[in-house]
């Protein structure tokens, strides 16, 4: 029989096997039966049947994969601590679902035993929505070390629900370090998926990265991530995004890094209400790097953004920082000029050295709507335990 999941609870180990249809007692509360982890234990291996995880404290050991046809349900108040003696991560494969619904006061938390950025691989979801990878390819091989092909035909595919979930100290270098996982990664995830009130905290790569797909997200917090707060490629096209907040502190590259894998024919994603704030003294991940601007478009990247507040992006290490930077002429002529790049209304506060730079060599006329607008407000979110780490309110800069 093939082992599909190992649940280590107190002094016993229970194997839930793919061909075992008999309810089992997982060693939790007396009388608890079925595929349920109740209060404590270790999550590891591959989950091939529906599993419910109750409120409690758990270890996450190794790369835990949820297989097609299975749903991982996590109830409010569950905390998972990834073991750093292993290469750990949570991966929801294509055809599988995650149903992780916490509350503002009782969030679902993923952290690590050492509490150090880059300790583990974070959370990765795969879906069945369309992508446009390099050269217009409709499928591509993931760069997260899981060797999964992603990209499909179902724009409304559903990989589940994540609400009030916080991922701490994620991101992990792979191989020679040229590739990394992110705090949260979405490969070809469809619009039927729900992503709300999520926190990516102090990871060593991006806070959130979208590889194609059509999913949208609201109330996202990216706090202290080393690379970009928000990143996408492969023509991600979510249309109903709102309330994105990045606070870059200590180490951080772009607030938003946007590309479409050089595909000019793409659907511009839309985000309403964006606040990108860079704390004083924040440096790029690589010393001397020019990756210090708030929003960067390149490789045919597009985006329609409204009510955008930018603060604290300063010239650093002899490099110029911009509120909005378009890196190449092709992106300017095919996307900016055609209206597939809009950042308006925009307020970049006075302590930003350069508010705008459009195009390679300033060849475009800056649109009249791209000015320091009145009426722009910071993102508004309701705080609580979901956005508090070690007593620190992650939303303080929005006040």
162: phi then psi, degrees, rounded to nearest 5: -130, 115
Pairing of strands 89-92, 123-126: parallel
pLDDT tens string for the chain (399 positions)? Answer: 333 333 333 322 333 333 333 333 333 332 233 499 999 999 999 999 999 999 999 999 999 999 999 999 999 999 999 999 999 999 999 999 999 999 999 999 999 999 999 999 999 999 999 999 999 999 999 999 899 999 999 999 999 999 999 999 998 777 655 677 999 999 999 999 999 999 999 999 999 999 999 999 999 999 999 999 999 999 999 999 999 999 999 999 999 999 999 999 999 999 999 999 999 999 999 999 999 999 999 999 999 999 999 999 999 999 988 888 889 989 988 998 899 999 988 888 866 667 666 555 445 555 555 556 778 999 999 999 999 999 999 999 999
Specify whether the CB–CB gap between 113 and 58 falls below 8 A: no
- CA 25, CA 37: separation in Å to the nearest integer? 9
Q: Give residue 22's pLDDT.
A: 31
Q: Give residue 28's pLDDT.
A: 35
Q: Give residue 185's pLDDT.
A: 98
- CA 111, CA 170: separation in Å to the nearest integer? 8
Please give the C-alpha separations between residue 3 and each of 9, 25, 90, 391, in angstroms, as whole numbers. 17, 17, 18, 40
Q: Omega of the bond prior to 26 within 30 degrees of 0, cis? A: no
pTM score above 0.75: yes
Q: Please report where in the chains the tokens 């690589």 appear, as a residue.
A: 286
């Amino acid at each position: 029989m093939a082992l599909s999941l190992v649940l280590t609870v107190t002094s016993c180990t229970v194997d839930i096997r793919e061909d075992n249809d008999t309810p089992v007692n997982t060693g939790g509360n007396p009388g608890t039966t079925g595929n349920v982890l109740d209060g404590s234990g270790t999550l590891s291996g591959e989950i091939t049947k529906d599993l419910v995880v109750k409120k409690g404290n758990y270890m996450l050991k190794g790369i835990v994969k949820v297989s097609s046809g299975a749903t991982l349900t996590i109830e409010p108040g569950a905390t998972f601590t990834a073991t750093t003696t292993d290469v750990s991560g949570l991966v929801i494969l294509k055809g599988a679902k995650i149903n992780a619904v916490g509350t503002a006061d009782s969030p679902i938390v993923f952290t690590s035993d050492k509490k150090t950025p880059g300790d583990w691989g974070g959370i990765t979801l795969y879906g069945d929505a369309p992508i446009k990878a390099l050269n217009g390819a409709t499928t591509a091989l993931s760069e997260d070390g899981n060797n999964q092909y992603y990209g499909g035909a179902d724009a409304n595919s559903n990989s589940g629900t994540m609400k009030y979930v916080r991922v701490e100290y994620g991101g992990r270098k792979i191989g020679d370090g040229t590739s990394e996982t992110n705090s949260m990664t979405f490969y070809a995830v469809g619009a039927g998926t729900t992503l709300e009130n999520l926190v990516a905290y102090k990871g060593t790569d991006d806070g959130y990265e979208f590889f194609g797909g059509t999913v949208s997200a609201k109330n996202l917090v990216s706090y202290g991530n080393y690379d970009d707060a928000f990143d996408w490629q492969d023509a991600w096209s979510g249309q109903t995004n709102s309330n994105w907040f990045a606070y870059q502190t200590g180490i951080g590259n772009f607030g938003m890094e946007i590309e479409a894998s050089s595909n000019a024919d793409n659907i511009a994603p839309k985000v309403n209400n964006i606040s990108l704030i860079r704390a004083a003294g924040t440096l790029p991940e690589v010393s001397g790097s020019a990756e210090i601007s708030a929003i960067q478009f390149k490789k045919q990247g597009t985006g329609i953004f409204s009510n955008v507040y930018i603060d604290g992006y300063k010239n650093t290490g002899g490099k110029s920082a911009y509120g909005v930077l378009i890196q190449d002429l092709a992106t300017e002529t095919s996307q900016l000029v055609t209206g597939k790049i809009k950042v308006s209304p925009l307020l970049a506060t006075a302590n930003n050295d350069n508010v705008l730079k459009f195009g390679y060599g300033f060849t475009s006329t800056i649109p009249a709507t791209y000015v320091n607008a009145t009426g722009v407000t910071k993102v508004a979110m309701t705080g609580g335990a979901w956005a508090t780490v070690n007593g620190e309110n992650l939303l303080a800069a929005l006040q």
